[in-house]
């Protein structure tokens, strides 16, 4: 049994805490809101994010980071990507020096264009052997219901990747280890943007040919950027690439796909953002991924077009016409 601190009591932080508890660990969740801590501790539920799911007794919640981090062997981070730096800066000095930091987040920081593992390294000074990533087709509500699913746990250090694998292998959750942190993180961040694009097509009333085309060309685009930035292309063919893309783009549970669907039906980004409490990471990361692609001189037409719709510079209908209108080219280019 390991002692794990999970920072973030949203959908995925809470669902992954269930996985960790089912895998035999002692889990303390840090929640930003004290009322969420009280509800988790008293009612064994987190109704704002996972209504109807009973949390195992081994999970407790606290608003005090020091309490959550005391003796923690693993520190799991599950706050919105754009909020990681400001939060982690406050917690960094409290983190035990030998604890492994694990990112559950799927985004790229605006401005710095850093992946979450890079933000973690910068803020805490932890080396690559102390930083892991979990990414795969893991819609929080399905995981919380213990529906069978697999995922990838990546760390540059093979021994630590295997420890992470053991840490979260539960009766319903099967992790595979990998050394490709870059591929897993970029696969996870990019699929959110492709999910927005697919959602737009659904919102416009288009069918499976359109969505399959966006998914497949989205995967090509993801692999193009990720490999240019050092990822193994095979990672993108695996659970953290294709697997996550399929789950996100097929599921009405995906916040990114749902957000895109509303854009496709004509709502604005501001209207949709105001109507939900949950994060759709692609709305911000489309901008940072586009900047990353431009910096690496990688052609990224889907991210470019999704970004234009999110920014209100193009309608979803014009986005799809414009993507089709482009000069034709080889499928492998
Ligand atoms: N929900 C899912 O199915 C999955 C989500 N992820 C990723 O996990 C990360 C977290 O997402 P979710 O838990 O789904 O989000 P969520 O929207 O369900 O919850 C976000 C949590 O962060 C907290 N939060 C919001 N603003 C904050 C701030 N300024 N400082 C500190 N905490 C703040 C909220 O109170 C909430 O507890 C994201 O990067 C997401 O892409 C990854 C896999 C699955
Ligand atoms: O990452 C996810 C599934 O793997 C969750 O997707 P959404 O953030 O779009 O809900």
Binding positions for NADPH are 11-12, 32-33, 49, 106, 140, 255, 279, 281
What residue ranges line ligand 2, CB within 6 angstroms?
106, 137-139, 192, 195, 244, 247-248, 254-256, 281
User: Averaged over 196-207, what is the pLDDT?
Assistant: 98
The pTM assigned to this predicted structure is: 0.98
pLDDT at 123: 98
Where does the chain show beta strands of DSSP type E? 3-7, 26-30, 59-62, 74-77, 100-103, 131-135, 149-155, 173-178
Task: Return the structure tokens found at 138.
Answer: 């893991």
User: Atom 22, ligand 1: which residue's CA is nearest?
Assistant: 79
Q: Which ligand is nearest to the CA of 250?
A: 2
ipTM of the prediction greater than 0.85, yes or no: yes
CB-based contact 29:12 (threshold 8 Å)? no
Binding positions are 11-12, 32-33, 49, 106, 136, 140, 191, 244, 254-256, 279, 281
35: Cβ–Cβ under 8 A, 6 or more apart, which residues? none
**Could you report the per-residue pLDDT of 21-42, keeping only the tens digit for each?**
999 999 999 999 999 999 999 9
Nearest ligand 2 atom to alpha carbon 257: 9
User: Averaged over 222-232, what is the pLDDT?
Assistant: 98
> Which listed residue (191, 262, 313, 329) is catalytic?
191
The structural domains of the chain, with segments of one domain joined by +, span 3-179, 182-325
182-325: CATH, from 1.10.150.80, 3.40.50.10420, 2.40.50.100, 1.10.1040.10: 1.10.1040.10
40: Cβ–Cβ under 8 A, 6 or more apart, which residues? 9, 14, 29, 31, 46, 55, 59, 60, 61
Measured CA to CA, the distance from residue 293 to residue 75 in angstroms comes to 31
What residue ranges line ligand 1, CB within 6 angstroms?
8-13, 32, 49, 78-81, 83, 87, 104-107, 138-140, 278-279, 281
- Dmax over CA atoms of the chain, in Å, equals 60
Alpha carbon of 187 to ligand 2 centroid (Å) = 12
Alpha carbon of 327 to ligand 2 centroid (Å) = 32
Average pLDDT, the chain: 98
User: Atom 28, ligand 1: which residue's CA is nearest?
Assistant: 83
What homologous superfamily is domain 3-179 in, according to CATH? NAD(P)-binding Rossmann-like Domain (3.40.50.720)
Nearest Cα residue to 88 out of 57, 52, 125: 125
Task: Return the structure tokens found at 78.
Answer: 């599950």
Which one-letter DSSP state was computed for residue 130? G
Active site includes 313?
no
pLDDT at 277: 83
Nearest-5° Cα angle at 139, 221 to 315: 50
Nearest ligand 2 atom to alpha carbon 281: 8
CB-based contact 30:62 (threshold 8 Å)? yes
Exposed / middle / buried, residue 54 (Cβ in 10 Å: 0-12, 13-18, 19+): exposed
Q: Which ligand is nearest to the CA of 257?
A: 2
Q: Which ligand is nearest to the CA of 258?
A: 2
User: Averaged over 42-62, what is the pLDDT?
Assistant: 98
Which position has the token pair 């696969």?
Answer: 187
Alpha carbon 122 to chain centroid, angstroms: 20
**Could you report the per-residue pLDDT of 92-111, keeping only the tens digit for each?**
999 999 999 999 999 999 99
Measured CA to CA, the distance from residue 44 to residue 190 in angstroms comes to 34
**Percent of the residues in the chain that have a pLDDT greater than 90, as a whole number:** 98
Measured CA to CA, the distance from residue 303 to residue 328 in angstroms comes to 18
Give residue 309's pLDDT band: very low, low, confident or very high (50, 70, 90). very high
**pLDDT at position 285 over 90:** yes
User: Averaged over 298-322, what is the pLDDT?
Assistant: 98
């Amino acid at each position: 049994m390991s002692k794990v601190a999970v920072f973030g009591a949203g959908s995925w932080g809470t669902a992954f805490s269930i996985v960790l508890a089912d895998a035999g660990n002692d889990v303390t969740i840090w929640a930003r809101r004290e009322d969420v801590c009280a509800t988790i501790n008293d009612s064994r539920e987190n109704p704002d994010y996972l209504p109807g799911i009973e949390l195992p007794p081994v999970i407790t919640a606290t608003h005090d980071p020091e309490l959550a981090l005391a003796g923690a062997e693993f520190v799991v981070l599950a706050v919105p990507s754009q909020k990681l730096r400001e939060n982690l800066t406050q917690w960094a000095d409290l983190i035990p020096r030998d604890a492994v930091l694990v990112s559950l987040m799927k985004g790229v920081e605006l401005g710095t264009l850093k992946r979450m593992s890079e933000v973690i390294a910068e803020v805490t000074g932890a080396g690559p052997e102390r930083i892991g990533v979990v990414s795969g087709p893991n819609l929080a509500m399905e995981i919380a219901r213990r529906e069978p699913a697999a995922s990838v746990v990546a760390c540059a250090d093979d021994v630590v990747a295997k420890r992470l694998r053991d840490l979260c292998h539960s009766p319903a959750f099967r992790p595979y280890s990998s050394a490709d942190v870059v591929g897993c993180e970029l696969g996870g961040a990019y699929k959110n943007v492709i999910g927005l694009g697919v959602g737009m097509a659904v919102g416009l009333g288009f069918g499976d040919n359109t969505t399959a085309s966006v998914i497949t060309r989205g995967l090509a685009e993801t692999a193009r950027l990720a490999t240019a930035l050092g990822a193994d292309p095979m990672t993108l063919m695996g659970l953290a690439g294709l697997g996550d893309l399929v789950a996100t783009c097929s599921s009405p549970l995906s916040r990114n796909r749902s957000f895109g669907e509303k854009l496709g039906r004509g709502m604005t980004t501001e209207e949709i953002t105001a109507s939900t409490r949950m994060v759709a990471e692609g709305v911000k990361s489309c901008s940072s991924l586009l900047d990353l692609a431009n910096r690496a001189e990688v052609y990224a037409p889907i991210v470019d077009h999704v970004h234009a719709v999110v920014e209100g510079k193009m309608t979803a209908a014009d986005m799809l016409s414009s993507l089709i209108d482009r000069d034709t080219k080889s499928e492998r280019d």
